[in-house]
Amino acid sequence: MTTQPMEQTMSNSSSTSVEQSSSPIGKIVLALLLAIGIGAFFYFDLGQYLSLDSLKSNRDKLLAYTENNFTLAVSLFILIYIVQTAFSLPGGAILTLAGGFLFGAFLGTLIVNVGATTGATLAFLAARYLLRDWVESKFGDRLGPIQSGFAQNAFSYLMTLRLIPAFPFFLVNLVSGLTRVNIGTYIGATALGIIPGSFVFAFAGRQLGTINSLSEIASPSVLLAFTFLGLLAIMPIIYRKMTGKSSPGA
């Protein structure tokens, strides 16, 4: 009998902690930060600096700065890429071109991968924190089978979405946050899936002076090649569906 008040106290304490953890204050603050960041980008017209013309006109200054301050240039580049990706801002392709031009095709691809994967993970976590509970409460019954299928084959699905250019990078980040995919799987699939596209743009960045538009890089043949790579990534799932075999761990 003497333990009942204690149990009630623990129950009240746990329920209070749950209410605190689901408090909307943190979500409001995060949403405001995102809105301010995106609003500032467009208000101050920062997109003008993430254009092909701007990159080409400033290439000598950027190259000289990188040669004289290599470590700082790498750090700043990664930070800019993280912010651009985390806030889902335009300019990722231009940044990847710049990475190839400043650091070389292979090192540039690696540096871009660090920035893009980190930024994508932050966008993924923000979408999960802000929206997933609301989406599941509104559409949970209809999303159940989709969530289950995605969770069982998350790596292959994500690799496919990363490889096929038809799926915008920022949209995959946000939509993935609404699923139950494990964050480790998300990071791994993102880091691997963006390598081919990053390398193509980084390699093109070495010939920056000969590029007049991004469409010259993302030619139909290149896009078709990425599409085939994406389809290859999803083939194990199709095979299991056709043969009736369940995925490991399902």
Q: For residue range 194-223, what is the model confidence (pLDDT) as tens digits?
A: 999 999 999 999 888 778 787 778 667 666
AA identity, residue 218: A
User: How large is the average pLDDT for residues 109-130?
Assistant: 96
**Which of 96, 55, 78, 81 has the alpha carbon at shortest distance from 217?**
96
Element (H, E) at 121: helix 105-127
pTM summary value: 0.80
Residues 6 or more apart whose CB falls under 8 angstroms from that of 79 comprise 115
Query: Considering the chain, what is the average pLDDT of its residues?
Result: 83
Does residue 8 register a pLDDT over 50? no
